[in-house]
Amino acid sequence: MKKFRHTGYVEKDRTYEMKFTTNFEKRWGEKAREIAKREDVSVPTIHMRVYNYGTPYQRAAQPTVWEEKYRKTQLEIAYELDTHPVTLQQKLRRYGDCYYSSAYTKKKSNHREGWKSDPKYTKCRRWLMPEHPDYSEFFGE
């Protein structure tokens, strides 16, 4: 059996409690370890976000095509329409709109029905975290 490397947050045995406040905590109001645990990523990932984007609450440099056009992720739209994400990609490519519906009524999807339980499609993460100052401006929530 092939072993996979764990890439999420790893809880370390911390028998001591830090008695001082780090510069990260002074600037962002919480520890990088707390953000990493919430996001299920490693602590250096949070520090790289600060290095790359200037804030630990931004996951990517820019929004995806889906977020730019619809202000939702591809998975959010897939769950909303109860359609496989690949089908949405095909609709966007062919018709320019993922909400397009034709008069053809027969089901024509070749994708298996249990796609919602696939681990690949369970994480629905936007490019900005809700704690980001521009989150409500971009997503209108």
Q: Are residues 87 and 42 located together in one domain of the fold?
A: no
Does residue 5 form part of some domain?
A: no
Dihedral angle, C-alpha 127, 72, 135, 21, nearest 10 °:
-40
Give the number of domains in the chain: 2
Instruction: Note whether residue 140 is domain-resident.
Output: yes
Residues 77, 140, single domain; the answer is yes
pLDDT score of 82: 85
Domain that holds residue 31: 23-56
DSSP 90: H
This prediction has a pTM of 0.72
> Rounded to an integer, what distance in angstroms lies between the CA atom of residue 100 and that of residue 27?
46
pLDDT in tens, 61-118: 999 899 899 999 999 999 898 888 888 898 899 998 988 887 775 565 556 677 777 7
